[in-house]
């Protein structure tokens, strides 16, 4: 109990020190300029009455859906922390014609304000940009009360849409690129991503002939301890033709090659071979009804490492808007992680551990994923999870509530283990020879769970997320490994409590984004990771901190530099000791401690 209280005090001290350090820096760093803007608006009918529950979709300049929300009481909606660029808005509401507006310019440090008049015959949208000041709240209320008759000047904004419509589309447009260098204190199995001690990466995004978006990304990493290398390539194609029952599918192709070392039980060996992976995924959306949004697709994976294995993983998610009562969401996946669903999931722009993805980081994140491999009786296996999930969420003003429940059946389940692994069956332990943990195949299991959460926007620059849940996990039987040949002999399956609290903030003066989260679980319990697809709350064990810091450009170069850091489980919580028959210790590791950082240049 004493060590537990000390750990909590240390966690609070780390978070407080981080905020104080960044706050002190913001007072001295007057050279930084804001890099994001906000898009705010209201939805009213022809008579000026606010319309709550309107579905508002935000599209980028490639007409690709990047976020969606529902108008709240008073008909208000907001998209915060948007990169300076051109966007489009699409609004739909039962009983009204859909409204669409493109060429919406969001400027850094400014609030672009829309007023949308829904009608059965036409839609009238106005746009105005203001620089936020200390009186932001008053300006916002004034805009909400304004009408087209009192703001005629907004009708004369420069518009070159006629010229652009007649001009032939360019072969390549909207091209930008990112180059980055990163380092990590964890290996492949530790972090379940293809990271090395030191690596470089690039990402390129361009638009081909109007509405065809292509994203390319690549990486090359080198470990300092061994000669193993890791590199990967990713290509994403997407197209959006605008309105219709369904859009063209998004296609993602990834390939990676990782040099691994042999050895069982965590013991270093010689270079045993190279793990080659390839995956092809399809993600598609459809809107069969005004209040129903459907997402579906599948991913095919192929893995070669000493042996060959493959799998096909279908997934689907349907969201039903029930008006003032909120939104009901259900999802299904069978096979690997439904990464496409989580990549297209609406969440807080500062949420931990997954920061907002733009068209460059989407490809980088897809490229970094590693297949969930293990060995069973010496044969390569892929973990397969059949998951059913049901959720509900509702936004009321600045607060969002969500409840999710799931049931999953896992085949070839995996646990991270470290320490002396000599007592475990060698055919069920997989070590990559690089990371400090190995993967132990625990066979098949079934579990249920739920999570209830609430997100509160405290200010324009600070969010608070809290959550509580209960789900299946594992504990050790009397802390002794009695029969190494059977996982059931030393693992006991039962439900456990978990809770999480996260604070996310932006410092406008320096452009810093900082997120800190603390996840708690029952003492002595290890809970396999479950990433919810019906809500955005993520319960990661221990203290986790994420930050992103823009840096001033040097030598007058175009673009901007950005420093990132990702620190996981800083207090090393969730390490369960287990004694072998000879008294030596083995650890079951729920979430390995990991420290990652990097710098990127985007132009």
Q: What is the pLDDT of residues 81-121, one digit of tens each?
A: 888 888 888 888 877 778 888 888 888 878 888 888 877 54
pLDDT value at position 409? 95
Q: Report the C-alpha gap between 371 and 116 in whole angstroms.
A: 46
How far apart, in Å, are the Cα atoms of 514 and each of 186, 205, 222, 364, 507? 22, 26, 29, 21, 8
User: Please, are residues 371 and 382 in contact by the beta-carbon 8 Å criterion?
Assistant: yes
**pTM: predicted TM-score of the whole model, two decimal places:** 0.69
Which distant-in-sequence residues (6+ apart) come within 8 Å of 328 by Cβ? 319, 320, 322, 390, 391, 392
- What's the CATH number where 122 sits? 2.60.40.1120
Same domain, 195 and 124: no
Same domain, 352 and 455: yes
Same domain, 513 and 411: yes
Report if residue 579 sits inside a domain.
Answer: yes
Report if residue 505 sits inside a domain.
Answer: yes
Report if residue 7 sits inside a domain.
Answer: no
Mean pLDDT of 401-405: 95
The dihedral built from the CA positions of residue 371, 501, 36 and 27, taken in this order, carries a sign that is negative
Residues 69-89: tens digit of each pLDDT: 888 878 888 888 888 888 888
Residues 250-262: tens digit of each pLDDT: 999 999 887 765 5
Strands 594-602 and 429-430 come out as unpaired
Q: Report the C-alpha gap between 38 and 463 in whole angstroms.
A: 16
Report if residue 67 sits inside a domain.
Answer: yes
Report if residue 144 sits inside a domain.
Answer: yes
Same domain, 85 and 210: no
Q: Tell me how long the chain is.
A: 603
* Burial status of residue 332 (CB atoms within 10 A of its CB: 0-12, 13-18, 19 or more): middle
Same domain, 73 and 210: no
Report if residue 583 sits inside a domain.
Answer: yes
Q: Report the C-alpha gap between 503 and 466 in whole angstroms.
A: 9
Q: pLDDT at residue 17 above 80?
A: no
Same domain, 399 and 502: yes
Report if residue 276 sits inside a domain.
Answer: no
Same domain, 387 and 512: yes
Strands 111-118 and 36-45 come out as parallel
**H or E segment to which residue 455 belongs:** strand 438-459
Mean pLDDT of 35-59: 84
Q: Which structural domain range is residue 89 located in?
A: 38-148
Matching residue, tokens 């420290």: 595
Of 297-301, 306-310, 381-385, the least confident: 306-310
User: Please, are residues 437 and 589 in contact by the beta-carbon 8 Å criterion?
Assistant: yes
Report if residue 232 sits inside a domain.
Answer: no
Residues 293-303: tens digit of each pLDDT: 999 999 999 99
**Which of 233, 475, 485 lies closest to 366, judged by CA?**
233
Same domain, 554 and 407: yes
484 pLDDT tier (thresholds 50, 70, 90)? low
Same domain, 114 and 52: yes
| Domains: count for the chain | 2
- Cα 238 to chain centroid distance, Å, stands at 19
User: Please, are residues 317 and 344 in contact by the beta-carbon 8 Å criterion?
Assistant: no
Of 64-73, 246-255, 483-492, the least confident: 483-492
């Amino acid at each position: 109990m004493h060590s537990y209280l000390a750990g909590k005090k240390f966690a609070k001290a780390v978070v407080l020190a981080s905020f104080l350090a960044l706050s002190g820096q913001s007072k001295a760093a007057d050279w930084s300029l804001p890099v994001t803007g906000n898009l705010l608006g209201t939805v009213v009918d022809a008579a000026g009455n606010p319309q709550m529950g309107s579905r508002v979709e935000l599209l980028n300049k490639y007409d690709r859906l990047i976020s969606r929300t529902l108008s709240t009481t008073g008909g208000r909606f907001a998209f915060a922390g948007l990169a300076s660029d051109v966007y489009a808005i699409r609004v739909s509401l039962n009983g009204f014609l859909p409204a669409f507006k493109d060429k919406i310019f969001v400027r850094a440090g400014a609030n672009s304000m829309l007023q949308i008049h829904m009608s059965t015959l036409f839609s009238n949208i106005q746009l105005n940009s203001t620089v936020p000041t200390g009186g932001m709240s008053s300006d916002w209320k004034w805009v909400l009360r304004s009408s087209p008759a009192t703001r005629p000047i907004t009708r004369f904004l420069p518009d070159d849409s006629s010229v652009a419509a007649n001009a032939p589309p360019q072969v390549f447009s909207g091209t930008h690129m990112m180059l980055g260098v990163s380092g990590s204190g964890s290996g492949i199995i530790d972090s379940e991503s293809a990271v090395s001690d030191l690596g470089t990466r690039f990402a390129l995004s361009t638009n081909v002939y109007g509405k065809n978006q292509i994203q390319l990304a690549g990486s090359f990493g080198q470990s300092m301890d061994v000669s193993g290398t890791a590199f990967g390539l990713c290509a994403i194609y997407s197209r959006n033709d605008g309105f219709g029952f369904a859009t063209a599918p998004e296609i993602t192709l990834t390939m990676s090659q990782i040099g691994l070392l042999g050895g069982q039980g965590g013991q270093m060996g010689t270079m045993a071979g190279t793990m080659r992976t390839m995956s092809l995924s399809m993600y598609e959306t459809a809107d069969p009804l005004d209040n129903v949004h459907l997402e579906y697709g599948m991913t095919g994976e192929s893995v070669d490492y000493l042996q060959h294995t493959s799998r096909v993983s279908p997934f689907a998610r349907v969201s039903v808007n029930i008006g003032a009562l909120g939104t009901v969401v259900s999802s299904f996946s069978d096979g690997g992680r439904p990464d496409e669903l989580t990549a297209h999931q609406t969440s807080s722009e500062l949420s931990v551990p997954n920061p907002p993805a733009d068209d460059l980081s989407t490809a980088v994140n897809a490229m970094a994923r590693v297949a969930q491999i293990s060995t069973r009786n010496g044969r390569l296996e892929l973990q397969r999870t059949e998951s059913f999930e049901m959720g509900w969420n509702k936004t009321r003003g600045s607060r969002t509530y969500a409840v999710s429940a799931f049931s999953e059946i896992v085949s070839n389940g995996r646990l991270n283990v470290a320490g002396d692994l000599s007592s475990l069956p060698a055919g069920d332990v997989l070590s990559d020879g690089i990371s400090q943990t190995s993967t132990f195949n625990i066979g098949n299991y079934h579990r249920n769970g739920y999570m209830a959460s609430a997100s509160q926007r405290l200010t324009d620059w600070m969010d608070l997320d809290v959550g509580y849940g209960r789900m299946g996990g594992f504990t050790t039987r009397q802390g002794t490994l009695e029969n190494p040949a059977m996982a059931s002999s030393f693992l006991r399956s039962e439900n456990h409590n978990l809770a999480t609290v996260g604070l996310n903030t932006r410092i406008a003066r320096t452009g810093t984004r900082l997120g800190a989260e603390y996840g708690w679980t029952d003492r002595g319990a290890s809970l396999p990771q479950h990433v919810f697809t019906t809500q955005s709350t993520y319960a990661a064990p221990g203290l986790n901190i994420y930050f992103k810091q823009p840096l001033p450009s040097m030598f007058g170069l175009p673009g901007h530099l950005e420093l990132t850091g990702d620190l996981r489980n800083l207090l090393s919580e969730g390490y369960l000791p287990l004694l072998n028959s000879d008294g030596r210790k083995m650890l079951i590791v729920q979430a390995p401690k990991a420290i990652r950082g990097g710098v990127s240049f985007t132009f």
